Amino acid sequence: MSILVQNKFLLSSKTHVSLWSPAVPRKFVCCIANTTVNVAAATTAAAKPKHGDGQLVIEREPLSPTTPVLPNSSTYYSVLNDPSLQSTWSHRVWVTSGCTIVLISLAKSIAGAASSHTWLEPALAALVGYILADLGSGVYHWGIDNYGDASTPIFGTQIEAFQGHHKRPWTITKRQFANNLYALARAVTFTVLPITLAVNDPILHGFVAVCSGCIMFSQQFHAWAHDKKSQLPPLVVAMQDAGLLVSRLQHSAHHRPPYNNNYCIVSGIWNKLLDETKVFEALEMILFFKLGVRPRSWTEPHSEWTEETEIIEQTTAY
């Protein structure tokens, strides 16, 4: 190992040595020594804490959680070739089914509004559906980010996927379309199909079609919030800039400490209100005092969610 700066200090029996490595958390150690040592950085040794004789004190200064960790090439290419990111025929079937049912519901709303000559109410219902879809995406995102694990019934797979997403957020942009949407499309299929078959109210269908459609595509909006602006369609960029879809800037705050804000991923219009009023923090306190369950955001998630950033050169080479 090469040392760029090397200085010698004669240590008395009451000397404090500060040793550090950029690869590990810094440690300040108080010790007793009567020898000559080499210290890697003179500036670190100069800032010596004062302690009592013979007292061993270790103070840990964690690495900055915002420091990106770059994956090596083998990790990068293994992610690109990961079959779990690729669409299967069953994924495509579920997405086709969900989209078909949403379109049927929307068609029923338009047809009913045209026959009754009442457009305002269905349009307002659709707007409410769009607004509540963003709120619903935030509540759901908060829940699977903070509670449960891979063994949780029904939601375990998505919980595990979201935990992995915090480790490597950029991989969502490599996930194929149907693979990214099929789980929500399946839920929409089972939820909206009975309503589509049993109800003909244009107002209800206006709400259901837009709300369920936004929820189903929320994972695609989420993926766009992680993509580079130059790689997005101009219409998507325009909608992000207009606040109609969650923006890249807004969602990036969710992937920075303390990892407990900006959960909404449809339009993000609820994020500011929910974060300023600390709604999710209040829910976490209620669950903790009632059930004794701690959310992951209380247990230093940055130690597990240290972001590994995509290497642009590797992307270009690939």
pLDDT digits (tens, 9 = 90+) for 149-187: 888 887 777 777 777 676 777 788 888 999 999 999 999
Structural domain total, the chain: 2
For the entire predicted model, the pTM comes to 0.69
Share of the chain above pLDDT 90, in %: 48
Residues near 163 by Cβ (< 8 Å), separated by ≥ 6? 304, 305
13 within some domain: yes
Local confidence band at 246 (pLDDT 50, 70, 90 cut-offs): very high
- Residue 43 domain boundaries: 7-61
Assess whether the previous peptide bond of 71 is cis (omega < 30° from 0): no
Are residues 294 and 182 part of one domain? yes
226 within some domain: yes
| Segment 39-46 mean pLDDT | 41
pLDDT digits (tens, 9 = 90+) for 81-114: 677 788 899 999 999 999 999 999 999 999 999 9
Are residues 160 and 26 part of one domain? no
125 within some domain: yes
pLDDT digits (tens, 9 = 90+) for 54-89: 444 434 344 444 444 445 444 454 555 677 788 899
pLDDT digits (tens, 9 = 90+) for 266-281: 999 999 999 999 999 9
